[in-house]
Amino acid sequence: MNRIQTILFDLGNVLAYIDFDAFWRSLGYFNQEEKSPYIDGYTQWTKRYETGLIPTNEYLSELNSVFSSKFTKTQLEAAFANIMLEPIERMYDLVEKISQTYKTALVSNTNDIHYSLSIQKYKALSLLPKHYLSYKIQVMKPDKKFYDAIIKDQNVDPSQLLFIDDLQINIDGAKYVGMNAIKYENVNQLEVEFKKFGIVVEM
């Protein structure tokens, strides 16, 4: 096995907790029946936003239309920002230790609102020199083009990359292009999985 050169960390539910339902609760929708008239429009425009196809102002304008101008753009942006919760305990310490020995990077399906907030909110991001973001690359995990962009930029064999993500579909995408991958469950489990790659973290 080639020695791991770079460890790639997902953001949501790896470095920081996220709660997609927080958006809906912030707007006063608490059950599926209340949300159902708006879900398709919200999902469609959010995907376009996270793929970098539309800027923030246009995204908020489209959401305003989806909700029939029931909310202001400011209210919608605040509700959308509420998805990003607190950092996951001990992950900063782990990333700090890892970064002393390995190259590290952020790999995230995200958008300008969430990323700008994350830079301020999660200090672990300052330890990751490279940030591979769906809205910048204009493609989302698990699309093969997302991983190919990372491999090209890192300029290494994909077997020298270790990808950490909480979603199996994204893990499968990474493995398909030849990366090593760990499905994140918790910090203790991640430390155990690291050892399988010869990575020992003294916390």
pTM of the complete model = 0.96
Q: Name the residue with tokens 């591979």.
A: 132
What pLDDT, on the 0 to 100 scale, is given for residue 200? 87
What pLDDT, on the 0 to 100 scale, is given for residue 120? 97
- pLDDT < 50 positions in the chain: none
What pLDDT, on the 0 to 100 scale, is given for residue 9? 98
Q: Indicate the residue type of 164.
A: I
| Residue of 84, 63, 70, 76 whose CA lies nearest to 20 | 84
What pLDDT, on the 0 to 100 scale, is given for residue 125? 98
Angle between helices 73-81 and 112-121 (to 10 degrees): 50
Read off the tokens for 55: 């800027």
What pLDDT, on the 0 to 100 scale, is given for residue 154? 97
Residue 190 contacts residue 95 (beta carbons within 8 Å): no
